């Protein structure tokens, strides 16, 4: 599962025999792609629910969350940014803009991958 839309839920997937089972390379499309260019910041987008996935016998990783830094993004109902500054590391008042509470991966089982 090659995931750039980080807010999607990953629930009870079974993946086997691919290069990477679940890979979230947000920085690969750091400013978005196509109609979403400059309207999203995937590296800083919070994850949806990640629960109950099984990843096995992949040539590289089972679950690979790559370089993700979920932040408190201001988005509209379509997921597009309403304030691009909300992608920044710090809020306008100088406080930390990291997502609280943090994202959680629940009940994940990775087995017999090259890197777990």
Q: Tens of pLDDT along 88-104? A: 999 999 999 999 999 99
Look up the domain containing 93 and give its range.
1-116
Structure confidence at residue 68 (pLDDT): 92
Task: Please state the domain count of the chain.
Answer: 1
35-71 pLDDT tens trace: 999 999 999 999 999 999 999 999 999 999 998 999 9
How much is the average pLDDT of 4-25? 95
How much is the average pLDDT of 12-35? 93
**Geometric angle at alpha carbon 63, from 61 and 65, rounded to 5°:** 105
Task: Tell me the DSSP string of 4-55.
Answer: --TTS-EES-EEESSS-SEE--GGGGTT--GGGTTT--GGGPPP--EES-EE
Q: Of 105, 38, 93, 44, nearest to 72 (Cα)? A: 44
Give the Cα separation of 4 and 25 in Å (integer): 6
Structure confidence at residue 57 (pLDDT): 97
116 pLDDT above the threshold of 80: no
């Amino acid at each position: 599962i090659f995931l750039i839309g980080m807010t999607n839920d990953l629930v009870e997937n079974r993946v086997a025999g691919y290069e990477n089972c679940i890979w979230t390379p947000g920085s690969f499309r750091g400013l978005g792609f196509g109609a979403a260019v400059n309207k999203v910041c995937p590296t800083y987008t919070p994850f949806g629910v990640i629960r109950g996935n099984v990843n096995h016998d992949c040539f590289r990783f089972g679950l690979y969350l790559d370089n993700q830094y979920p932040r408190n993004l201001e988005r509209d109902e379509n997921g597009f940014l309403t304030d691009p500054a909300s992608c920044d590391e710090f809020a306008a008042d100088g406080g930390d803009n990291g997502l609280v509470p943090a994202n959680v991966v629940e009940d994940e089982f990775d087995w017999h991958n090259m890197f777990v």
